Every structure is written in C-alpha cells, then in structure tokens.
Structure 1
Amino acid sequence: MRHFPLAALAAAACLALTACMAPTSREVRPVENEPLLDMDWRLVAGPDNRHLPTQGAGSAVLRFSPSSFSMTGPCNNHRGGWTRDGDTLRLGGEGAAIASTKRGCPRELMQREADLLEAFAGPLRAEFSGTQLRLVDGDGARWTFDSQDVATSAGRERIVLVSGERKPCSGAAPAQCLQVRTEPGAPWQHYYGDIEGFSWQEGVDYVLRIREYTVANAPADGGARRWVLEEILDRSR
C-alpha cells in the first residue's frame, strides 16, 4: 500500500475547522432571512415520491452559502453559484454551470444523479413546508429535501485517511470494515458502516474532509460515530 503524500495531508489539514454545532431541527419559513442558508438539506424523495436513503450510499445533501451551493451525492460532489428571486431558484449561476466530480457508481445512483442535475439545469420553484424544501422543475417533477438532521449532538469537521483495504470486524454480525486514521503513521482503526456520500474503491487510499457527529444511544458494535463526506482531498493507488 502506498503512503499518503505528507504535503497533500498538510495542505488538507489546513482546511480542518474547529468544533462546531450540528444543525438543529427547526421549522423553515420563507420570510425575512434567506431560509436556505445554514441547513443540511437531505434528499428524502424523488419525483415518484419513493422514499430515498438519507444516509450511506445513494444519499444526497444540499447546502447553501451566501455565494455558492454544494451537493454531496447521490454519487459525485457538485458545486456552483445560485440565486433566488421569490420562489424561483436557479442553481449553477449564469448558464447553470455546475462543476461535478467524475467517479462512477451503480447504475441506479448514476441515473438518480443525472435526473437531479437535469432538473437543476433550469429554473426551479422552491416550496417550503415545515422543515421541508421541495424543488419543482418546469415539468412539475418534485424533489423533496428535509432540513431535519439525524444527528443529535455536536459535530466537527475532520481530516481522515481511508485505506484501500477493508478488514474483518465484529459487530451485530461479522463485516468488512473501512480502515481509517486521523494522521499518518497512526494505527488503522475500524470504521463501522459507511461514510455518507462516499463511494469507497478497493485499492485506492483517500484523504477526506468529513463532518463528524456523535450518535446518541449507539449500539455497542463501535458505531458511535457518524461521518458525512465534505470533500475528497487526495486519492492514490
């Protein structure tokens, strides 16, 4: 296995943030301040109203800052500018230019992502209802996002290294766990479950920027951490 480049890790570490509070659940109303900001909008349903996963493979999280938006998932990471005029939302800024990573995923996830990006290419109608945001495209198809976060405690951003090799681990049942560490040379540790928004590939070592949450009442199999991918900073074989 290759060693992670120290220069890349050092640069990545500069991006790590200090501890911050996880988003809290609250009712969203489109009045006064921009309601899209400071939220993790989790995709919960597509145009067919079928329930979609909110964690792990195939999940998608939409976030807005004053000048740009980002979305992790359903397969790749996406970023661009955005504007909102009343209930009309445009993603990608001038010309709907959205930059996306180019990794591959199972066909179902790739199709869901393609459908989402196709909807994002045109003006969307933003509908707010309680904690939910519905984005409606020109054909009337609705994508439903929810701002209610599944985490129940404080979270922080971290830089982590992920090995290209899984190892056997024991929890509720035997499994093959991701191997992770937070600094070069540290012992590899089991990570139970999957990193949300991250598609692991065997034989590829990664440096990731993630958001870490503590899971309340976690099972005794070691799954007390919940990690959500923010950005892939480096990868090597």
Structure 2
Amino acid sequence: MNRSPAARLLVLALAASLAGCAATRTEIMAADDSAVLEGVDWRLVAAPGDASVPDVGPGAATLRFDAERFSLGGPCNSHTGGWSREGAQLRLGGEGAAIASTRRMCPPEIMARETALLQAMAAPFTVGFDGPFLRLQSADGATWRFDSRAPAATESRERIVQIAGQRAPCTGVAQQLCLQVRTQPGAPWELHYGDIEGFDWQVGVEYVLRVRETTVARPPADGSSLRWTLLEVLDSSQD
C-alpha cells in the first residue's frame, strides 16, 4: 500500500513521539528505583553462604534508608550511619564508612552473618532491584537480598520458662540489667531483653512461668525479638 508524503510524515512523527514516551518511561523507572529505596523496611532474606535466613525473630535483619541515614536492625545488633548513592553504587557509613553499632552478643552463626555484612559495608555495593527485592552486591560478588514485603504472619505459641532471681548486666543502646531465663532445667541462663508483659518480677525469687511467645518483626535496640506475655505463674521460690 502506497502512502502519501503527508501520511508518511504523520507515521514518522508518531514513531518519534512513541520513542520519546519510551525514553520518558525509562527515566521514570530509574527515578522510581531511587525513590523506592527510601522509607521502606527491607527484610534480609538471603545472605552469602546461608542456606536459610530467618525473616523474623532471632537472626532476622531489617534495613531502612531515610533521607540522610540508614538503619540496620540485626542480625544481632542495631547499626546506623550515613549513606549515599551514585547510579548503581551505594555506600553505607558516610564519611570514613563510620557505622555506629550496639554490642550485644548472639549465637555464633548469627554473629558470623552480621560480621560478614558489616565487613562488606566497608566498600560500595552495587544496587539492583528485582520486583519487590533489593540486591546489594559487594565487589567480590557476594550478594545480600532484601524483601520489601511484610513478613508472613506468625502464630504465637505457649512456652514454659524459668526466671532467675537475679538480673544480669546486658548492653543494648545503653548498659542495663536483663532478666535471666532458660527453657530447659539445668541449661545455661540466657539474657532476655525487656520485660514479660503482666509479670511482676521480684529480686531473689525464682519463677517457673507459662508464657505466650510472639515474634517482634522490628525489635528496638534494647528489646527482645520475642515478646512474652504471662499466662500463669506455675511455681516460685526463694533462690
């Protein structure tokens, strides 16, 4: 079919217009990538060398970017510092890669995951987006993957716990005294950050409690990732 010169010019103009729209959409997508980084709770869901990374509870981590600072809750401690992005390069820690962290101790496998991530933060990451996922890749190819979606709801459960009659020093945002707890008789005491809802602890008294345990998705720096609510005091005695 032969088109008139005017028709051919109209087709060329339309093609140029569509090409311009495509370029505009690409620019918008790039801008959206930058915008979506901020104000989102990015949950760590994959880490180098870890077959399974918990998305809630002990060992979980959540990364958040605000206007000038980032915060990382977990895998064990809380961390914060400045951040900047230039194209696909993301630098955490601001001037001199300075990152402030709390000094809580966690099980070795959790500490190893946290140490590897903090060491990688000393150099810029390459940023990538896959749908709801954020990828941070270090220069050696190690990749951490984060999910912007809320974690699946977790059901609470009941537990029997023993509470010591003396608190022990622990460090969150500041030095404090934490409850000492254990779930197996004779097991080493563990620190429980925060209190037990509905429970009035008294110094010098050991307790056996029935509690309801629920997971806290984003615990504060000086709080536990597990929330316990008292259901029943099963036993109490002077230590």
Q: Does 1:31 align with 2:48?
A: no
The correspondence for 1:176, drawn from 157, 161, 170, is 161
Long gaps (5+) in structure 2: 1-28, 164-189, 196-210, 224-239
| Separation (CA, whole Å) in 2 of partners of 1:88 and 1:151 | 31
Map residues 182-197 of structure 1 onto 2, 5 A cutoff. Answer: none
| Separation (CA, whole Å) in 2 of partners of 1:75 and 1:97 | 18
| Separation (CA, whole Å) in 2 of partners of 1:47 and 1:55 | 18
The structure whose RCO (Cα within 8 Å, separation 6+) is larger is 1
Where 1:117 maps in the other structure, the secondary structure is helix
1:224 Cα offset (Å): 7.4
Map residues 78-227 of structure 1 onto 2, 5 A cutoff. Answer: 78-150=79-151, 174-176=159-161, 201-202=191-192, 226=216
User: Which amino acid in structure 1 is aligned with residue 191 of structure 2?
Assistant: Q
Quote the residue 1:229 is aligned against. 219
Quote the residue 2:46 is aligned against. 45
Quote the residue 1:193 is aligned against. none
User: Which amino acid in structure 1 is aligned with residue 69 of structure 2?
Assistant: S
8 Å contact 2:56–2:151 — kept in the other structure?
Answer: no
Q: CA RMSD in A?
A: 2.9
| Separation (CA, whole Å) in 2 of partners of 1:49 and 1:102 | 23
8 Å contact 1:131–1:147 — kept in the other structure?
Answer: yes
| Separation (CA, whole Å) in 1 of partners of 2:30 and 2:61 | 22
Q: Which has the larger share of helix? A: 2
User: Which amino acid in structure 2 is aligned with residue 111 of structure 1?
Assistant: A
In the superposition, the TM-score normalised over structure 1's length comes to 0.57
User: 1:78/1:45 Cα in 2 relative to 1: closer, same or farther (>3 Å)?
Assistant: same
1:230 Cα offset (Å): 2.9
Quote the residue 1:65 is aligned against. 66
- Percent identity of the aligned residues? 43
8 Å contact 2:39–2:65 — kept in the other structure?
Answer: yes
User: Which amino acid in structure 2 is aligned with residue 149 of structure 1?
Assistant: A
8 Å contact 2:157–2:214 — kept in the other structure?
Answer: no
1:173 Cα offset (Å): 5.1
Map residues 12-23 of structure 1 onto 2, 5 A cutoff. Answer: none
| Separation (CA, whole Å) in 1 of partners of 2:57 and 2:161 | 15
| Separation (CA, whole Å) in 1 of partners of 2:120 and 2:55 | 20
User: Which amino acid in structure 1 is aligned with residue 132 of structure 2?
Assistant: T
**Count of residues in Structure 1 that have an aligned counterpart in Structure 2:** 152
User: 1:113/1:224 Cα in 2 relative to 1: closer, same or farther (>3 Å)?
Assistant: closer
Long gaps (5+) in structure 1: 1-28, 153-170, 179-199, 207-220
Larger Rg: 2
8 Å contact 1:30–1:128 — kept in the other structure?
Answer: no
Deviations 1:127-161 (A, max 9, x none): 10100001000101000000011267xxxxxxxxx
User: Which amino acid in structure 1 is aligned with residue 81 of structure 2?
Assistant: G
| Separation (CA, whole Å) in 2 of partners of 1:89 and 1:148 | 21
8 Å contact 1:44–1:53 — kept in the other structure?
Answer: yes
| Separation (CA, whole Å) in 2 of partners of 1:228 and 1:67 | 20
8 Å contact 1:45–1:52 — kept in the other structure?
Answer: yes
8 Å contact 2:158–2:212 — kept in the other structure?
Answer: no
Where 2:109 maps in the other structure, the secondary structure is helix
Deviations 1:166-213 (A, max 9, x none): xxxxx75543399xxxxxxxxxxxxxxxxxxxxx715x656xxxxxxx
User: Which amino acid in structure 2 is aligned with residue 59 of structure 1?
Assistant: A
User: Which amino acid in structure 2 is aligned with residue 229 of structure 1?
Assistant: P
| Separation (CA, whole Å) in 1 of partners of 2:120 and 2:43 | 17
1:112 Cα offset (Å): 0.6
Where 1:57 maps in the other structure, the secondary structure is coil
In the superposition, the TM-score normalised over structure 2's length comes to 0.56
